[in-house]
A and B are shown apart, each in its own frame.
Chain A
Amino acid sequence: MKKLRRTMLFVPASNPNMMVNAPIFKPDCIIFDLEDAISLREKDSARDLLVEALKSIDYKDCEIFARVNPLYTPFGEEDVRALVAAGLRNVRLPMSETEEDIKKLDTLLTDIEKELGLDNGVVKILGAIETAKGVLNAEKIAVASSRMIGISFGAEDFTRTIGAERSKGGEELFVARSKIVLAAAAAGIDAIDTVFADVDDAKGFRKEVESAKQLGFAGKSVIHPGQIRTVHDVFTPSQEDVDKAVRVINAIEEAESKGLGVISLDGKMIDAPVVARAERIVTLAKGAGIL
């Protein structure tokens, strides 16, 4: 069953307090940030801190990512080397613009895995798409490596590259968000929506999460623990949907045990998309603790 990635909580890798406390808020994923949140003169110390955190803190069910610096900076490669050695298994690559960007990271990871004696491909990639060029290349980025588990959208940089202002309505993002969802869906990976910066605007945030869910995103990047509950709440399926999903899953299991090829429920045929949707709902329901 696919992992739940409803929330990805950004935590600056320079804040030991938050690095220790982040899992208490029960995000599905934590992204320790070495990129934008860390000033140039703190790049090394933050990396060291994160290495120690990964070695010593038990994050239990929380899936851990690190947003490393882009590989074209002097810090990117060292970030990846040090963190993978410390146990990191998910790299979020910022400013993914082309499939080459992903391939470069893929090659580096293969190299590191070999050096460390790890199985090839154990380290996964989440490509962060933050530019017009990246959006247009989304389909290629999503399938650039077998390590890809998702692509995420970064609206702040994106609006800058298209020369627009970020608005509460988000019209300027509509096409890009949809494109990213389509690219991810076609590749069978997760699409993660952009952050919402105004932490005091609870109403606006909920609206944006609802639209993300409606568009087909698997989850959302969040910058404040207070945003987590809203996302989980919005992504909690209705009891009716859960009941239906459970019946679909039961019907499949029953059909399989009887060796039936064609599966139907209430006189309607159950095809692959229906099964996928049912599985997704069951996962969400379990994550929300209602199943």
Chain B
Amino acid sequence: MSEMIKNALGREIPKYIEGIGELKAFQGAFVYTPEERKAAPRISKATPDMNKIVENIRRSLELCGIKDGMTLSFHHHFRNGDYLVNMVIHEVAKMGIKDITIAASSLQSVHEPLIEHIENGVVTGIETSGLRGKLGEAITRDGILKKPIIIRSHGGRPRAIEAGEVKIDIAFIAAPAADHYGNVNGVEGPTACGSMGYAMVDAEYANKVVVVTDYMVPYPASPISIPQTLVDYVVKVDKIGDPKGIVSGATRVTKNPLELLIAEKAFEAVVASGLVKEGFSFQAGTGGPSLAVAQFLREKMKAEEIKGSFVSGGITGHSVDMLEEGLFKTLLDVQCFDLKAVESIKHNPNHMEMSASFYANPHNKGCVANQLDIMIVSATEVDVDFNVNVITGSNGIIMGASGGHSDTAAGAKLSIVIAPLLRGRLPIVVDEVTTVITPGETIDAVVTERGIAVNPRRKDLEELFKAAGLDIMSIHDLKDVAEKLTGKPQKIQTTDEIVGLVEYRDGTIIDTIRRVK
């Protein structure tokens, strides 16, 4: 094994990995400064007589010059309803191609068939925001992939693509609607998913771009999210996804009393911070308790006639309600989460689509995350240094996704983690998280049902919370309260084998994921 070095969080990082290359150790959230130039795709040529329509996926692969060792990219706007990743890799396997790297903005449990393709050597590399289900188990427990997967955040991925660290040979874009010349939008057709934000960077930087759709519209598509100038081929198939897995009918606010209590405490903390004022911006996850925080905020804004600037991130019907009620000026949307959000982005000009780079890339000239005032994030585990894990479960297996967690935590003026202190018999505040996704220096406070811990770096915030009479305690006390009820959990038993690298948004390695025994 390669020589190991300790990064700024004390995590052991290999200096080099065969097939991936030299690794940079994480030095701090804002320390690393890139000095390279941006990468660029090959120049194309399109003559007036060229026909972009191709009869099937196989033909598009042939035309793109598919060969062993290539990197294919995919987006996850279809979430667990995606058919395209499996369709394309199945075709690649049938052609006898090997050694493919999948660079996806995220993978879901629907992508379980990849296990077989990994075992057969068709797929030898995976770069993603997260993994779920059996694929996560096969990689973390069974070690089916020789090369570690690379976990990137939603901002880190466009950064890596623009920097040329991810060289996409062919980008496959699942398109809810497309015209014959490759213009794509996400708001029409049976698989309408709204924003196409995660696919935009792929289209811009891949050498070849293939649009796959089951819903052709007359030229020119309107609106256009991904333009013809970036697209090589268009493939029409019968079905590219299952609408049921793509967007939910309506995302619901939690009714669980414990989650509501946590949300209420988080809301009080947000108010105590003094940031809820005219022109403020806000983002929260789309889980039940996060939505509940937004709901409390909405009532306050109505009662006090406060008008905010924007809500960003994954957008739900609840954000749409706040836009339509005039509580926020704008929605900045990288991904729609329900049908109401899809309808809204289609019709409301103040509901704006944004690319993943615009949203969260730390190495462009300014991303939306940097303009956030308040961010509410969740956690699978938080440790006494405020580091957060959202990727590996209590058994050490990859079951979640990095998402925009570290990006928004770094960017926002106030980033609050909300989590129950106990999940079943597991304490959530621990000595050391299994895997660090978000470094503690970017987290300001942890809100649980049994108390709020403020990061000692934020003395100012602690004073404000104290003045508001909030239930604050040290993170160590919070951990003790949890452990008193649950006992101290045993450490997860792992081997030395590294099955995953967690890349921080700036491209440095913040942690590794070891194979579970």
Contact = CB atoms under 8 A, between A and B. Distances in A.
Contact of A24 (B424, B449, B484): B449
Nearest to B451: A24
Contact of A57 (B261, B425, B450, B485): B485
Contacts of A20: 422, 485
Contacts of A170: none
A17 B424 contact: yes
A16 B485 CA distance: 11
B424 A225 contact: no
Nearest to B257: A225
- Prevailing SS type, chain A contact patch: helix
A103 B500 CA distance: 68
Nearest to A20: B485
Contacts of B449: 21, 24
A226 interface: yes
A179 interface: no
A40 to B, nearest CB: 26
A16 B422 CA distance: 12
A165 B226 CA distance: 63
Nearest to B262: A24
Contacts of B450: 24
Contact of B257 (A16, A58, A224): A224
A24 B485 contact: no
Contacts of A224: 257
A166 to B, nearest CB: 24
Interface in B253-298: 257-258, 260-261
A17 to B, nearest CB: 7
Contacts of A174: none
A25 B257 contact: yes
A25 B264 CA distance: 12
Contacts of B261: 24-25, 225
A224 B257 CA distance: 8
Nearest to A226: B257
The size class of the interface chain B forms with chain A is 10 to 19
Nearest to A26: B261
A24 B265 CA distance: 12
A226 B258 CA distance: 9
Nearest to A58: B484
Nearest to B422: A20
A24 B425 CA distance: 16
Contact of B258 (A16, A21, A58): A21
B258 A24 contact: yes
A22 to B, nearest CB: 10
A25 B450 CA distance: 10
Contacts of B425: 16
Contacts of B260: 226
B475 to A, nearest CB: 18
Contacts of B424: 17
Nearest to B420: A21
Contacts of A25: 257, 261
Interface string A215-249: 00000000011100000000000000000000000
Contacts of A226: 257, 260
Contacts of B484: 58
A194 to B, nearest CB: 21
A20 B424 CA distance: 10
A16 B423 CA distance: 11
Interface string A150-193: 00000000000000000000000000000000000000000000
Nearest to B255: A226
Contacts of B485: 20, 57
A225 B264 CA distance: 14
Contacts of B257: 25, 224-226
Interface string A1-24: 000000000000000110011001
A192 B462 CA distance: 41
Interface in A14-73: 16-17, 20-21, 24-25, 57-58
Contacts of B258: 21, 24, 225
Interface string B417-455: 000001011000000000000000000000001100000
A209 B260 CA distance: 22
Interface string A76-117: 000000000000000000000000000000000000000000
A21 B421 CA distance: 10
A6 to B, nearest CB: 17
21 contacts: A16-B425, A17-B424, A20-B422, A20-B485, A21-B258, A21-B422, A21-B449, A24-B258, A24-B261, A24-B449, A24-B450, A25-B257, A25-B261, A57-B485, A58-B484, A224-B257, A225-B257, A225-B258, A225-B261, A226-B257, A226-B260
Interface of A: 16-17, 20-21, 24-25, 57-58, 224-226
Counting from the closest, the 3 A-B pairs by CB-CB distance are A225-B257, A24-B449, A226-B257
Interface of B: 257-258, 260-261, 422, 424-425, 449-450, 484-485
